[in-house]
Structure formats: C-alpha cells, structure tokens
Amino acid sequence: MPQDDMAALTSAFEAKYGVKAKVWRSGSEKILQRGLLEAKANRFEVDVFETNSPEMEVLSREKVLIAANSPFLNELIPQAIPAHKEWIATRLNIFTCAYNTKLVRKDELPKTYQDLLDPKWKGRLSVEADDSDWLAETVMKMGEEKGIALFKEIARKNAVSVRKGHTLLANLVASGEVPMALTLYNYKIEQMKNSGANVDWFALDPTIARPNANGVARNAPHPHAALLFQDFELTEGQVILGKRDFIPTSTKVPSNLNKMPLTFANPKTTLDDGQKWNKIYDDIFNRKG
C-alpha cells in the first residue's frame, strides 16, 4: 500500500486507540522474504502483515499467520475470506485498461481483447512486467489455448511494450509515453484522474480482481494490538480506504469502481502453477529481466 494511504490508516488507528503503529513498507516479495526469514530465525518483530494475497498465502502455508476470528468477517464479500481465514482481504486491485485521454479518444476504445488486434494499436500498448496472474485468469476464462493464441497474436502484430512497476506504468500513461496500458489497477488511475492527470480507465471482459489482505502473525509480539488493528482495517479502515479511491471488501462501504462482473484471482494458481504462467507471460511479451 502506498505510504500516504497507509499513513491515513495508521494515524486514524492511533488517534482512536492511542496505540502507536510502526510501519515497515516494502514490495510484496520483500515483505514475504522478511516474514519467512524471521520465522525461521525465531525472531518475531511483526504483528500484522499486509500485502498481495499470493504472498499472504505463502505465509499461511508456512505457518506464519493465525486464523482470524473477527466479529466483522460477516460484513465482507465472500471472496475476501479463504477457508483457513489466516489472511483476510481488505481491498481489491482490479486490473483494467488505462489510457491517456489526450492520445486516445473514448470512441476508439476497444470493447473486447480481440479489438486489440487492430493495427491502430501498434506501438501504443503496454503491460506491467509481473502480471502473469492476470494473464492466467484471463486466458483460462477465454479457454486457455484460445486465450494464449490471442495474446500472442496481439503482441506479435502490435508490439506490446513491458514496463516494471504499476506506479511507473501509470505515470508513463499520464505523461503520454505509453498511450494505453492493459494491466493497471483502476483505483490508482482514479486517484490520478481526481488529481488532474490526463488519464482514465475502462474494463474489458473478463475483469480480474486480485485481493490484497492482512493477517496477524502467529507469534506477534503485541497480539492484542494486532487483532485490534485487523478489526480496525475491516471496519473504519474500510471507510478510509473507500474515500481514497481504493476498493474495500466490506459490503457496507460501496464503491463505484467494482460495478463490473469480476473474476477473482486465485492465489493458489500463482503459487502452484506460477512457473508455468511466468514462462507463458515471457513467451508472449518477451519481457526482459
């Protein structure tokens, strides 16, 4: 979660409960690595983890987390709660197409992925480097063989570029260096649009949602504060996230950003078949590094 957004959560938590929250922020891979290394070394410094659901699922499998028993779970969408309850989705990252409104007209936007075969998109499209889970869920909905063939043809005909980092890619769309990106989170584009950037977003079917989640550490040094923060993020925190254009998982906090039919990414696909889909992603988009 971006630093200013997490600060909005923690400052509200501190103001309500008088409990100081210390945040260590990094990418999802480093958060996972820290959790696993500290658990292996029996060094327990983390109370609550918050990151992408695939990394949270690894922490669950490695017995780093404990099951949630929050009274607020029944307020969440069903897809927010895995059977083991060791991580709970607090918000959704919805993969959408984002475009520069000065370079792409609304009336020329594609209505299907097949429309991206049009030669007018040559050199105008980009994807983020590590979104193989988006590709996996998308092509499985289309029919795996058919879907893979379609994206190979799009990449072959129209030279889809690859950029590392969703924030970087979003900024490149805003600057006009990338006219349209296929794998950006709509909450981020909505934030940028509301700040005056020349960007907008739209969804193609299937629209993939990746849950982001929190989970309480099994050996949390401050277990009561950890449970308190988890409950806070599932209640008042949902309102805070919604006001900042995130997509909460609470049914009590409506959002205008999740009105399309959604296909939820299964973190087990990323973990159990990740090598397969990373290779397919590489083969299609020829990403480097």
Cα–Cα distance list, 171 to 182, 191, 245, 271, 276 (Å): 14, 12, 17, 29, 30
For the chain, strand residue ranges (E) read 48-52, 88-100, 125-128, 161-163, 180-185, 199-202, 207-216, 262-264
Q: Tell me which residue range forms the domain holding 189.
A: 93-208+270-285
CA angle, 19 then 238 then 190, to 5°: 125
Alpha carbon distance 126, 205 (integer Å) = 18
Amino acid at 141: K
- The confidence band for 286, taking pLDDT boundaries of 50, 70 and 90, is confident
**Any domain includes 22:** yes
- Annotate 29-83 with DSSP letters as a single string: HHHHHHHHHHHHTT----SEEEEEHHHHHHHHHTT-B-----TTGGGB-GGG--T
CA angle, 102 then 127 then 113, to 5°: 80
Interval 159-218: pLDDT, tens:
999 999 999 999 999 999 999 999 999 999 999 999 999 999 999 999 999 999 999 999
Q: What is the pLDDT of residue 27?
A: 87
Q: What is the pLDDT of residue 13?
A: 98
157 with 232, same domain? no
Indicate yes or no: pTM above 0.75. Answer: yes
Structural domain count, the chain: 2
**Any domain includes 263:** no
Alpha carbon distance 256, 190 (integer Å) = 10
67 with 125, same domain? no
- The confidence band for 1, taking pLDDT boundaries of 50, 70 and 90, is confident
**Any domain includes 260:** no
63 with 115, same domain? no
